[in-house]
Amino acid sequence: MNLTKRLAVLHHSPNVTRPLLKKCFRLNPDLIEIFEMSKEDLSYHLKIPLERSALIHHHIHDPYIMKKVDIFYSDYHMIPFYDSLFPPLLKTIPDPPLMLYIQGDPLLMHTPSSLSVIGTRTPSGDAFPAMKYILSPILSKGYTVVSGMAKGVDQYAHHLAIDHGSKTIAVLGSGFEHIYPRNDIPLYEKLARDHLVISEYPPDRKPKKYHFPERNRLISGLTLSTFVVEARVRSGSLITVDQALEQGRNIFAMPGRPGSPTSEGCHQMINDGAKLVHRAEDILSEWSEKFE
């Protein structure tokens, strides 16, 4: 079993968190000794309760799990943090993933001109025409769009990129065997075949509520700029913005109609210093000035 498979077996355990996995690497960079330790040794060296170490020990020595990881390794790209294909931008974020599961073209993660697009799942009637007006000139220049394949703004951003012949990346909050949401499976299939779909969760992992705030840090982390189309004041989009700011990313926000609940979040961002966007040049000029 090679290092990537050892990492995948540990990563698959529900009792191994990212901080604990990082501790495993600090203790034993090739992870060989981790698999040779008893549950008592794991408890002592990792400084975790014996009950937890026993669950981890059982999991990583379960033949069924070993076989499952072999299937994952065969059916999907598995890109660990030490692989040359791992996106450099994700290495710089405060809490980088240690393993990415990939369907599609992994080189898209290295596209120099890319833009994260996020927004509400329940956009107003103004959102899609405005998105098309603003993003079409950007997409005509070959920008790659990164989003989360959620209903509403995310899915429309992916479709716009496809329609303009640009590439697009979807970051999921679930494993590939449990695609969520399921309202546009043809979009997922198109992205997996001709573009790129990413998840930090093992393919058999069902979506959990906490996965989506976690995956949002990858959406913002994969690009240098995040464009918010519409967002409510309390929303996942604002969580993504907070993560993007923590990552040192550039924030763009589209203003909306006064009084519209789906625009209140963007108006708050603009008041707090986000760049107001009402045409493509507002993004392109800022990009050229700061990042090119």
Percentage of the residues of the chain whose pLDDT score is greater than 90: 85
pLDDT in tens, 57-88: 999 999 999 999 999 999 999 999 999 999 99
Residue with tokens 């596209």: 111
Angle at 131 between CA 244 and CA 185, to 5 degrees: 85
Tokens of 190: 């198109």
Rounded Cα distance, 202 and 290, in Å:
36
Q: Is the pLDDT score of 292 beyond 60?
A: no
Confidence bin at 291 (pLDDT 50/70/90): very low
Tokens of 11: 């990563």
pTM of the entire predicted model? 0.94
Tokens of 77: 């790209």
- For residue 69, what is the enclosing H or E element? helix 63-75
Q: Is the pLDDT score of 287 beyond 80?
A: no
Strand (E) positions, the chain? 77-80, 99-104, 114-118, 144-147, 168-171, 196-199, 225-228, 250-253, 275-276
pLDDT at position 234: 79
pLDDT in tens, 182-235: 999 999 999 999 999 999 999 999 999 999 999 999 999 999 999 999 988 877
Tokens of 4: 């990537």
pLDDT in tens, 114-139: 999 999 999 999 999 999 999 999 99
pLDDT at position 238: 84
**Chain mean pLDDT for the chain:** 94
For strand 144-147 and strand 114-118, is the pairing parallel, antiparallel, or unpaired? parallel
Percentage of the residues of the chain whose pLDDT score is greater than 70: 98
End-to-end C-alpha distance for the chain, whole angstroms: 43
Between 76 and 239, the higher pLDDT residue: 76
pLDDT in tens, 153-177: 999 999 999 999 999 999 999 999 9
